[in-house]
Structure 1
């Protein structure tokens, strides 16, 4: 994982799953990953069984020059790479695989941009398969967002075993991954109770 945003999202997901194959989709707290949301997306399977974008961050949509929600995941790739991209997405959605992929994005004018794709599974049951991930640029050239990426090619794919992945300080990029609410929040120590996927912090003025 070469990009900071990729490492941050992976480490958040890894801590949240707590040894399970994947965390539940209801456990993802957008506020916990607010610094990464712009490059983050959620995938789901449509009625045909294909991977489509359920949600996509604002910077990600700007990078590709369109609102990605509802579009096929494979629409980002060249025609030749679309079958491989489909296999990557379905491997995460169905088989709970974790992958990091190096991409080369190209604009209509031929400008190249290296990108890093992370795919992470979420547990939602057989009828609600979901995956999350991010696409982070290796750099942010002045034209990014003004001249959209029109197609990507796959350069390298790495399968990740989360249970064997080095922890920060043991070969993995050291980043400040967001805390898991509520234990490491600013209100740590305050009485708290959980209602479904929400955490209620007891507060109010003393009387």
Structure 2
């Protein structure tokens, strides 16, 4: 089906206004990539990376045969944990447990390893343009692969949600992928997101001042413990108190002379 314009004499000779509708009938060859990326984006919370446990096969029902899950097992190496029927068919075998680099040419393996390390560390979304090279085919076919980072149950970014699409054609069991181009997009923070800033730690002098300040809504403030005095300090304090008491006590008054009191007088006569 084509759309064109008519002039007074008939069909116009220009082809710039002709649009072919063949590639829109089934959504195009890149439709599974965009569906997977939209599903992955919907699982994100802010600028965070979705976790592997959030992936529900029902959300990818239309493209399950094109999808796969990778697990990072070493720097630059990731193996298949799950794979759709189309991925197994293109490899000619069951790919579960095998490294993804095994299906690429020697030159392409280094490029893929570097791209995956950048994806895990940044993190980033990686999209690859591939060529399927097989000796039984007269001409190589084109393919595309999309790699979306995921978090594991431990919280580290070591899982991948991947999608693989290829041009229609006869599948050969000895095919290998070569990389034509690599596009990487870093996962940035959404615009207008406020940055988190930790509150500066109070200095020691401020902490001592705020210890006994009232705190509404919580338990009442507690008084500080006084340092315990040693036995020597207690003995000195006791000695000081005893000396102070003796210095303040008035001396005993002299016995007062009793006036008019009866007394005996001894009289000695030498006559």
What TM-score do the two structures reach when normalised by structure 2?
A: 0.54
Q: Name the residue aligned to 1:193.
A: none
The 1:90/1:2 distance shift into structure 2, 3 A limit, reads farther
Q: 2:165 aligns with which of 131, 136, 160?
A: 136
- Whether the 8 Å contact between 2:123 and 2:187 is mirrored in structure 1 is no
Task: Supply the RMSD in Å over aligned alpha carbons.
Answer: 2.5
- Whether the 8 Å contact between 1:51 and 1:90 is mirrored in structure 2 is no
Residue correspondence of structure 1 range 118-137 to structure 2 within 5 A: 118-124=146-152, 125=154, 129-137=158-166
Find the residue that maps to 2:147 and give its secondary structure: strand
Please, which runs of 5 or more residues in structure 2 have no aligned partner?
1-27, 190-271
What TM-score do the two structures reach when normalised by structure 1?
A: 0.69
The 1:28/1:108 distance shift into structure 2, 3 A limit, reads same
- Cα displacement string for residues 127-155 of structure 1 (whole angstroms, at most 9, x for unaligned residues): 67211111111x212x13xx235211110
Structure with greater Cα Rg:
2
Q: Name the residue aligned to 1:102.
A: 129
Q: From the two aligned structures, give the one with the greater helix fraction.
A: 2
Higher RCO (C-alpha 8 Å, min separation 6): 1
Q: Name the residue aligned to 1:39.
A: 66
- d(CA) in 1 for partners of 2:84, 2:119: 19
Report the CA distance between 1:2 and its aligned residue.
Answer: 6.6
Report the CA distance between 1:18 and its aligned residue.
Answer: 3.4
The 1:49/1:159 distance shift into structure 2, 3 A limit, reads closer
Question: Aligned pair 1:27/2:57, yes or no?
Answer: no
Q: May I ask how many residue pairs the two structures share in their alignment?
A: 161
The 1:72/1:22 distance shift into structure 2, 3 A limit, reads same
- Cα displacement string for residues 63-110 of structure 1 (whole angstroms, at most 9, x for unaligned residues): 121111111111111111111111222322343210111000122313
Please, which runs of 5 or more residues in structure 1 have no aligned partner?
165-207
Report the CA distance between 1:116 and its aligned residue.
Answer: 0.7
- d(CA) in 2 for partners of 1:19, 1:68: 34
Which portions of structure 1, spanning 4 or more consecutive aligned residues, are displaced by more than 4 angstroms?
Answer: 161-164
Q: Name the residue aligned to 1:78.
A: 105
